[in-house]
Amino acid sequence: MSTRNLRMGPLSAILVAALLVATSDVSGAHELGARVDLPSKFERFVVPAGSVRVLEYYSLGQLDGPGGVVRLRVARVSAAGQTIALIALEVRVSGPSAARATHTGFIDSDDLDSLIRALGEMDRMLKKRYLLSSAETAEAEFSAGSVRVGTVLTNRPGDRDRLYIVAGNPSRATATLDPRDLPKVRALVSTALEKIGDLAAGKTGDR
């Protein structure tokens, strides 16, 4: 197995080209060994003793796919009466069946530009079938906070390309989507950045 790190701002999109003997299930394809993602700064926000924690949410939309549902919101946390606040993208993932739990992850606002660049690179890879001239399967993954977003491109007979989004730490939920939804994900993240800009400017608007 060969692994390359593609530097994108403060974080990375990881491209893996490998011959895989696992099944075509996406959960086997994107788990590259045991790992526990570091929580986002948003999730580590500590309210001073005796203060009230205030959480605000602003809905962005959702993505429905053959392997689950992904709901996105902008989240803002602060302590009542304090000027310091943290803002993040909340990613809520429900698996493909009603019996599977829903898990939530967060990406800090200062990591969203890197996510947009990574999504653009994944979309270009998908269109060019990057590295699949010799590899059986190629995977690209972006990880930040308690969220992972990635694509799996495959030449295996009977298998299909897919986009996956994983949320939660340490327990996780995974949704698989049509890789053609990559531009939709990118558009929602761009909308999140616009909303974050409005919040920073003191414009709250509708929740």
What are 31-64's pLDDT values in tens digits? 444 444 678 999 998 888 888 999 999 999 999 9
CA distance 161 to 41: 33
* Strand-by-strand arrangement of the 85-94 sheet: 53-65, 68-79, 85-94, 102-108
- Domain harbouring 69, CATH code: 3.30.2450.30
* Least confident piece of the model among 6-10, 48-52, 114-118, 156-160: 6-10
Q: Tell me, yes or no, whether 100 lies in a domain.
A: yes
Beta bridge partners of 2: 17
CA distance 160 to 126: 12
Task: Report the phi/psi class of residue 123: left, alpha or beta, with left for phi > 0 and alpha for psi in -120 to 50.
Answer: alpha
Which range marks the domain in which residue 94 is found? 2-17+43-200
pLDDT of 37 reads 61
Q: Tell me, yes or no, whether 28 lies in a domain.
A: no
For the chain, how many structural domains are there in total? 1
Mean residue pLDDT of the chain comes to 81
Q: Tell me, yes or no, whether 24 lies in a domain.
A: no
pLDDT of 94 reads 93
Q: Tell me, yes or no, whether 37 lies in a domain.
A: no
Tokens matching residue 117: 């660049």
pLDDT in tens, 76-131: 999 888 888 999 999 999 988 765 789 999 999 999 999 999 999 999 988 887 55
Q: Is the pLDDT of residue 151 over 80?
A: yes
Q: Tell me, yes or no, whether 135 lies in a domain.
A: yes
Q: Tell me, yes or no, whether 205 lies in a domain.
A: no
Q: Confidence band (pLDDT; 50, 70, 90) for 182?
A: very high
Q: Tell me, yes or no, whether 88 lies in a domain.
A: yes
Q: Tell me, yes or no, whether 12 lies in a domain.
A: yes
